[in-house]
Structure 1
Amino acid sequence: MAPTTSTTSTTSTASTTSLASVILEVTDPEAARRFYTAFGVDDRIGLRASDAPSTGFRGFTLALTVAGPATVDGFVAAAVAAGATPLKPAAKSLWGYGGVVQAPDGTVWKVATSAKKDTGPATGEIDEVVLLLGVQDVKAAKRFYADRGLTVARSFGGKYAEFAAGESGAVKLALYKRGGLAKDLGVPAEGAGSHRVVLGSTGAPFTDPDGFVWEAAAPRTPASS
């Protein structure tokens, strides 16, 4: 996850777009639903059947922020037990403690905490979910989204930008330079084809400069239903 030592804020009234939902496109929705229920994130995402070609890094990750290292370990263990592949074992880092796994459908998930020591027992609670889009130019992508009405909550030059939570509050949107994001996740940056994720917009449909598709949001069907 990105550091939290400086902030900037900008607003735009050009439109009312915000992130209303995140839908993962998967080959086998039933299998994916079972996995995400076991992982404990089924109420945060939707699922849709798709066989769109996709190779290598899909250009995004979903990051869970939790209270402490023991809770990180619990989520990582649940994911691996349900069929996820470990990409980076949970370990201490400069910014805290975290690990990275890849779900059976190919989606990369990061679980992290800013705490390096536990102050209580492990819980199954998620403090925050962030959808990190790997983009070629963070500053340009930030302007693109700000022009569509998203409010920048935090920004770190050309490396990282995070937007205020949308109406649903289930998932926040953030931007990370693609190469930096891939390095943080422990995967090669190369990839082609579909991103295999669709973002629900409270405004009009659009596609951003990096090919991430936004569609008019429909009522979200959780992965567990």
Structure 2
Amino acid sequence: MATTASTAARMSLASVTLEVADPEAAHRFYAAFGVDAYVRLRASEGHSTGFRGFTLGLTVSGPATVDGFFGAAVEAGATVLKPAARSLWGYGGVVRAPDGTIWKIATSAKKDTGPDTREIDELVLLLGVEAVKATRQFYVERGLTVTKSFGGKYTEFAAGTSCPVKLALYKRSALAKDLGVPADGTGSHRIALGSTAGTFTDPDGFVWEAAEQPASSPH
């Protein structure tokens, strides 16, 4: 799709829609998890196998809050992919929601300085891509602003005003390794991104649709 300067200036991430087999069950899970305000849900019979190529990440203030969200997710039916534990970069863990979406919950703090706040400092949609530099350029040409960039390994874009979720890019194989899953996967990504600049598909097959297009959700 050709992108004009005026279109690029308006481009931002306006919404994140998860395509699930059972929206009502998914809504119950995300409400119990505590993230239902951040994502839309809609019914889809799209088929996927293996890694879907993305993760949603919660950044929180400390280990107690990581444990709070992690425990809520598991109690609501999530599968543990990586138990919450200390690492070189902080403290965190990874779960897979019943609908198949992978969530990483983490903090840069290794020790608690307070109780579980149940507050989310930042939510990042991390797309696993084959060529970070090329995909970064694709999005820059559509008006997104780079706020962090580490060569061909990682890129983060500025958040839009209408969506609390920040978009970032990571090498697909590295992302899968970080999540503790095989990098292989086929079929639908089971995610649709709302765009203020219309409909298009990025180099890795992630579909963006017009933001005004309604997402069917039970809430």
Q: TM-score, normalised by structure 2?
A: 0.94
Please, which runs of 5 or more residues in structure 2 have no aligned partner? none
Match of 2:47 among 53, 65, 81: 53
SS at match of 1:130: strand
* 2:210 corresponding residue in structure 1: 216
* 1:9 corresponding residue in structure 2: none
- 1:182 matched to 2:176: yes
Give the residue type in structure 2 aligned to 1:136: E
Report deviation, 1:167.
1.9
**Alignment of structure 1 residues 1-225 onto 2, 5 Å:** 15=8, 16-218=10-212, 225=219
Report deviation, 1:218.
2.6
Give the residue type in structure 2 aligned to 1:20: A
SS at match of 2:31: helix
SS at match of 1:106: coil
Deviations 1:136-162 (A, max 9, x none): 000000000000000000000100000
CA contact (8 A) 1:22 1:198 kept: yes
Give the residue type in structure 2 aligned to 1:99: G
SS at match of 1:125: coil
Q: TM-score, normalised by structure 1?
A: 0.92
Alpha carbons of structure 1 residues 221 and 170: separation in structure 2 relative to 1, 3 Å: farther
Alpha-carbon RMSD: 1.5
Deviations 1:149-193 (A, max 9, x none): 000000001000000001224100000000000000000000000
Alpha carbons of structure 1 residues 150 and 183: separation in structure 2 relative to 1, 3 Å: same
Q: Whole-Å Cα distance in 1 between the matches of residues 173 and 187 of structure 2?
A: 17
> Would you identify which runs of 4 or more consecutive aligned residues in structure 1 move more than 6 Å?
219-224
Q: Whole-Å Cα distance in 2 between the matches of residues 24 and 138 of structure 1?
A: 23
Report deviation, 1:14.
6.1
Give the residue type in structure 2 aligned to 1:148: R
* Identical residues among aligned pairs (%): 72
CA contact (8 A) 2:94 2:179 kept: yes
CA contact (8 A) 2:198 2:211 kept: no
Alpha carbons of structure 1 residues 221 and 54: separation in structure 2 relative to 1, 3 Å: closer
Q: Whole-Å Cα distance in 1 between the matches of residues 148 and 89 of structure 2?
A: 16
Deviations 1:18-68 (A, max 9, x none): 000000000000000000000000000000100111000000000000000
* 1:3 corresponding residue in structure 2: none
Alpha carbons of structure 1 residues 120 and 179: separation in structure 2 relative to 1, 3 Å: same
Alpha carbons of structure 1 residues 106 and 96: separation in structure 2 relative to 1, 3 Å: same
SS at match of 1:74: helix
CA contact (8 A) 1:97 1:116 kept: yes
Report deviation, 1:118.
0.7
Q: Whole-Å Cα distance in 1 between the matches of residues 55 and 136 of structure 2?
A: 17
Give the residue type in structure 1 aligned to 2:59: T
SS at match of 1:78: helix
